[in-house]
Amino acid sequence: MTTADTSVADLHTVLNALADPVRLEMARRLHDAGRELSCTSLYDTVGKATASHHFKILREAGIVVRHAAGQGATYALRADDVDAAYPGLLTAVLSAAHPLPAP
């Protein structure tokens, strides 16, 4: 099952979602992987509840899509959709992002 709105949010919402270092790191990991990843592989600096909050913000901004996978979930970057709405934005932001230091 996919949980997604098909639209990308307004520019302010997208930029706000990517302004947080944890959310930026989640998006960067998805971008670098080039495929869906399990939710647990996208965060290691915050707890599960905090990560869920960050995933929600990324979903509502239209940056990621969630796919149910058994009792867990995977996430995919909606790079094509974001690029269609804001050409070059996601690539520029994510290519400038640096990995967060390990905890």
pTM for the model stands at 0.86
Q: Residue 37: which of 48, 29, 45 has the closest Cα?
A: 29
**Residue-wise pLDDT tens digits, 57-99:** 999 999 999 999 888 899 999 999 999 999 999 999 998 887 6
**Residue-wise pLDDT tens digits, 44-64:** 888 889 999 999 999 999 999
Strand order in the sheet with 72-77: 2-3, 64-69, 72-77, 37-38
What are the extents of the domains in the chain?
2-96
The CATH class for the domain spanning 2-96 reads mainly alpha
Rounded distance between C-alpha atoms, residue 10 and residue 15, angstroms = 9
Rounded distance between C-alpha atoms, residue 12 and residue 36, angstroms = 25
**Could you report how far apart the first and last alpha carbons of the chain are, in Å?**
33
- For residues 12-29, give the mean pLDDT: 96
Q: Are 79 and 48 in contact (CB under 8 A)?
A: no
